[in-house]
Amino acid sequence: MTLTETIEQIQPLDDNAMRAARARQDQLTKPQGALGRLETLSVQLAGITRNPRPRFKQPAIITMAGDHGVARQGVSAYPAEVTPQMVLNFLRGGAAINVLARHVGARVVVVDIGVAADLPAHPELVNAKIAKGTRDFSMGPAMTRDEARRAVEAGIEIVTREIAPSTGAQGGVDIVGTGDMGIGNTTPSSAIVATITRRPVREVTGRGTGIDDAGLARKIAAIERGIEINKPNPNDALDVLADVGGFEIGGLAGVMIGAAARGVPVVIDGFISGAAALIAYGLVPAVQPYLIAAHRSVEIGHRATLEYLRLEPLLDLDLRLGEGTGAALGISLCIAAAKILDEMATFGEAGVSEKTKDG
């Protein structure tokens, strides 16, 4: 399905489902509002799913991998060959995302959308490769506009296939998290954030994998040079993605758009997923209420991203790994919120007296 067709399918959240969810929350055996954001989260989930008592049985985290030409500018503490090595680690089940996904009962869908290597065939690896990494955006556009669109549409296709009961594993995905892998990808993410939020590069660029002061200076200089050379249009999200983005960032934006079109909640991970959310939001603002920010990353640009998107993170744990690790924890909270709404007894069901008027 094309990007345009998918965008046209995104609807506002269901007011009737949210009203019913709020009414039930107010009758549960607790003081109104006593479970804080778990209550508001459950109402949002009801609106997204169009179900006043949503249940989540098939969570999945889609982790997209891609390489970046700008990494040659010395912007990361790790070499580019770590990207394919970590993809293989994901497939073996040995990475942090695998551990946390198992913890919350989620599958990990691993996608090669732009790794700069030929990965061996694997039954659980989705091959959606656009190219072997992006070009160095500090010297010209990271990709063509057509490649940018193809990356977004690849994400739409993958999440649509996972959600569809006839093709998705074990009956289809009903809540999705986003994850990433790509050495150097905090650099395009910072470039996207600086462009769309119109913040100075220095204010939204952090140390990523732990680069030293010299590496941070190179990173900032590369981003500033790339923005100056390419002049991405902040009002054209596809242009921003093409000029200074990454294939996995575009793919994740497509995942968000595709899930929203099908009424499936999207729990976004950290800084790279946040940059993808900026692209998705730029393409279709109606995606915003379908997004749930799992956490606030240590990366300094993530705060500006969440403020721009008007998203309040569920957690703040000093995470900066990516992979979808924060999204896994966020999915756990979404499941908990939905279970409270669905499984907790009301005052009437439990035979518990409600508060007095003076209470």
Amino acid at 152: V
Same domain, 170 and 227: yes
Residue 90 lies in a domain: yes
| DSSP per position, 116-140 | SS-PPP-TTEEE--SSSS---TTSS
> What is the full DSSP assignment across 284-332?
-GGGGGGEEE-B--SSHHHHHHHHHHT---SB-------TTHHHHHHHH
**What tens-digit pLDDT sequence spans the chain (359 residues)?**
799 999 999 999 999 999 999 999 999 999 999 999 999 999 999 999 999 999 999 999 999 999 999 999 999 989 999 999 999 999 999 999 999 999 999 999 999 999 999 999 999 999 999 999 999 999 999 999 999 999 999 999 999 999 986 544 445 899 999 999 999 999 999 999 999 999 999 999 999 888 999 999 999 999 999 999 999 999 999 999 999 999 999 999 999 999 999 999 999 999 999 999 999 999 999 999 999 999 999 999 999 999 999 999 999 999 999 999 999 999 999 999 999 999 999 999 888 888 766 55
Structural domain boundaries enclosing 217: 59-333
Position 359 in a domain: no
Per-residue confidence (pLDDT) for residue 169, from 0 to 100: 42
Question: Quick one: 232 and 293 in the same domain?
Answer: yes
Cβ neighbors of 297 (< 8 A, separation 6 or more) are 270, 271, 274, 319, 320, 326
Q: Are 285 and 193 contacting, i.e. CB atoms less than 8 angstroms apart?
A: no
Whether residues 188 and 40 share a domain: the answer is no
* Residue 336 burial (10 A CB sphere; 0-12, 13-18, 19+): middle
Contact (Cβ atoms closer than 8 angstroms) between residue 151 and residue 241:
yes
pTM for this model (two decimals): 0.95
- 231 and 305 both lie in a single domain: yes
In a shared domain, residues 71 and 11: no
User: 11-64 pLDDT, tens per residue?
Assistant: 999 999 999 999 999 999 999 999 999 999 999 999 999 999 999 999 999 999
- Segment 327-359, tens digit of pLDDT: 999 999 999 999 999 999 999 988 888 876 655
| Whether 23 and 154 share a structural domain | no
Using only C-alpha atoms, what is the Rg of the chain? 20
Residue 42: give its domain's CATH number.
1.10.1610.10
DSSP 31-83: -TTTTTHHHHHHHHHHHHHT-SS-----EEEEEEEE--GGGGGT--SS-TTHH
Give the active site residue among 157, 162, 248, 323: 323
| Percentage helix, strand, coil for the chain under 3-state DSSP, each rounded to 5 | 50, 10, 40
In-domain check, residue 282: yes
On whether both 272 and 315 belong to a single domain, the answer is yes
Residue 250 lies in a domain: yes
Residue 95 inside a domain? The answer is yes
The verdict on 145 and 40 lying in the same domain is no
Residue 185 lies inside a defined structural domain of this protein: yes
Per the domain annotation, does 315 fall within a domain?
Answer: yes
Which single residue is written with the structure tokens 């006839």?
166
42 and 184 belong to one structural domain: no
Same domain? 156 vs 39: no
Burial 64-99 (b: 16+ CB within 10 A, else e): bbbbbbbbebebbebebebbbebbebbbeeebbbbe
Distance of alpha carbon 66 from alpha carbon 133, whole angstroms: 6
Number of domains in the chain: 2
323 assigned to active site: yes
* Same-domain check for residues 132 and 276: yes
Would residue 356 count as lying in a domain?
Answer: no
- Give the CATH number of the domain where residue 83 resides: 3.40.50.10210
* Same-domain status, 129 and 14: no
Residue (of 62, 50, 40, 72) closest to 142 by Cα position: 72
Provide CB contacts within 8 A for 216, sequence distance 6+: 205, 206, 207
